Structure 1
């Protein structure tokens, strides 16, 4: 059994941030669960163009608001507390923070190692097999 406390993640190497996002990586590849699990904060007004071409991601909003735009269709969907979106086709998208910070709970498959940052396409590189 694993017990992970958010307050023990903050300020460690599992507390990662980049332009327009902050991610607390609660479970990583090395934890052996077959997925990684994160709490991600998107600040109000942020805009992130993303494309997880090597990962599937499910995201559940637990606070705040924003939108997600599907770049293949142009559809824009509101994100707020109680909404889940799943990037089940490696969807290119733009995630926009709304009027207040969004707090998101995310699962990635395959799991991330913990130190990934977005490349020029907005993707994370696939994790090496030995990571």
Structure 2
């Protein structure tokens, strides 16, 4: 059994901050935990815009706080994000995630992340080895 407290993750190597400063991800489960997926609490910082394109991963996201929007660049649709909204990137959709206020997001990735990932210039997480 794995039991983790988010407070114990803050300030450790499992708390990853984007080089762009747009988000902070607290990675509660990683590939090394052997669950077959990774599980994160991510804060998208207020007033920011992040280009994301998970070409190598599928992601499901559940918003548990804040307000923002996601713009799907594959079809031009924009969806409002707030507490209680879930979205799943089942088609590797390239998108912008914009935060009006700090967005607190619960995220699941497959394949699981190693914990070192950050978006490249295209918004992609590379497939990384341990």
Please give the range of the TM-score, normalised by the shorter of the 2 chains.
over 0.9
Hey, what does 2:4 align to over in structure 1? 4
Q: Does 1:52 align with 2:62?
A: no
Hey, what does 1:36 align to over in structure 2? 38
CA distance in 1 between counterparts of 2:121 and 2:97 reads: 16
* Structure 1 alignment gaps of length 5 or more: none
- SS for the counterpart of 2:7 is helix
CA distance in 1 between counterparts of 2:31 and 2:81 reads: 27
TM, length-normalised to structure 1: 0.96
* Structure 2 alignment gaps of length 5 or more: none
Hey, what does 2:98 align to over in structure 1? 96
Deviation of the 1:45 alpha carbon: 1.1
Deviation of the 1:117 alpha carbon: 1.1
CA distance in 1 between counterparts of 2:13 and 2:51 reads: 24
Deviation of the 1:44 alpha carbon: 1.2
Aligned pair count reads: 128
- SS for the counterpart of 2:91 is coil
Cα deviations across residues 94-116 of structure 1 (Å, max 9, x unaligned)?
00001x21000000000000011
TM, length-normalised to structure 2: 0.97
Give the alignment's Cα RMSD to 1 decimal: 0.6
Deviation of the 1:127 alpha carbon: 2.4
Deviation of the 1:43 alpha carbon: 1.1
Hey, what does 1:125 align to over in structure 2? 126
